[in-house]
């Protein structure tokens, strides 16, 4: 990436989509953990 704004934006979108996928996968486990803590 040599300062290309389009590829930087695509990379950021890809990372955000990956983080959203991880959050959606982890959400049931997190709610179970929170339920056990409470």
φ and ψ of 4, to 5 deg: -80, 115
- C-alpha 17/C-alpha 25 separation (Å) is 12
Q: Which domain holds residue 32?
A: 1-38
Contacts of 11 (CB under 8 A, 6+ apart): 1
Residue 1: its pLDDT value, please? 47
| Structural domains in the chain (count) | 1
- At 1-38, the pLDDT tens digits run 467 888 999 999 998 888 888 887 877 777 677 777 66
The whole-model pTM stands at 0.46
Here the tokens at position 7 are 């590829």
């Amino acid at each position: 990436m040599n300062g290309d704004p389009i590829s930087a934006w695509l990379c950021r979108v890809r990372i955000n989509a990956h983080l959203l996928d991880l959050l959606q996968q982890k959400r049931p486990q997190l709610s179970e953990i929170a339920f056990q803590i409470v």
